[in-house]
Amino acid sequence: MGMSNTVQQLSVFLENREGRLEEVLDVLARNDVNIVALSLADTSDYGMLRMIVSDPHKGRAALKEDGITAMLTDVVALRVPHATGSLSKAMHQIVEGEVNIEYMYAFANGNDAAAVLKSDDPARVIDILKGSGFDVYTADEAYSANQ
């Protein structure tokens, strides 16, 4: 249980300059790596692009070959039912379990949604969620969502 349900997120530090995001997206497209979900946070100097993609290892290798530094991070993709308060209930369970969530972003996926959660203990987050009646996406499900 636990780590087998983590998802690898592809993360790229971007200079905050015109065209840099397009370069990353173009490399992934040319290498047939589909973007399932993404989050882009920026400051005045740089941005952090975080993505769930169809093949994280292939994406990272393609970016590296093009001179773009990327890293893989284990995250959890929580299944969030389209019902008021679902995410709040899940977060309550994580707080009760005394685990910190560093950041989160979400994407819709047909009958439900996914909240991508970054924690210092993803296996514990998975155990807490599953023990509380929530479900998480497997890596294969997350990498092929919305296709």
CB of 10 within 8 A of CB of 51?
yes
Dist CA 48 CA 51 (whole Å) = 10
Convert the pLDDT of each residue in 84-98 to its tens digit: 999 999 999 999 999
Averaged pLDDT, 42-59: 91
Local confidence band at 147 (pLDDT 50, 70, 90 cut-offs): low
What 3-state class would DSSP assign to 138?
coil
Mean pLDDT of 109-131: 91
Average pLDDT along the chain = 91
Q: Which alpha helices (H) appear in the chain, and where do they start and end?
A: 20-30, 56-65, 86-96, 122-131, 139-143
Return d(Cα 111, Cα 122) in angstroms, integer.
24
Question: What tens digit of pLDDT does each residue of 105-115 get?
Answer: 998 877 788 89
CA distance 45 to 16: 5
Please state the rounded mean pLDDT for residues 13-17.
Answer: 86
Q: Which helix (H) or strand (E) holds 124?
A: helix 122-131
User: Taking the model in full, what pTM does it have?
Assistant: 0.89
* Angle ∠(4,9,12) on CA atoms, nearest 5: 155
Q: Is 146 helix (H, G, I), strand (E, B) or coil?
A: coil
Span between the terminal Cα atoms of the chain, in Å: 27
Is the pLDDT assigned to residue 1 strictly greater than 60? no
**pLDDT tens column, 20-48:** 899 999 999 999 999 999 999 987 788 89
**Res. 10: pLDDT tops 90:** yes
- Residue 44: CB atoms within 10 Å: 5
Cα separation, 22 vs 114, in Å, equals: 25
* DSSP three-state, residue 45: coil
Give the percent of the chain with pLDDT over 70: 96
126: pLDDT strictly greater than 90: yes
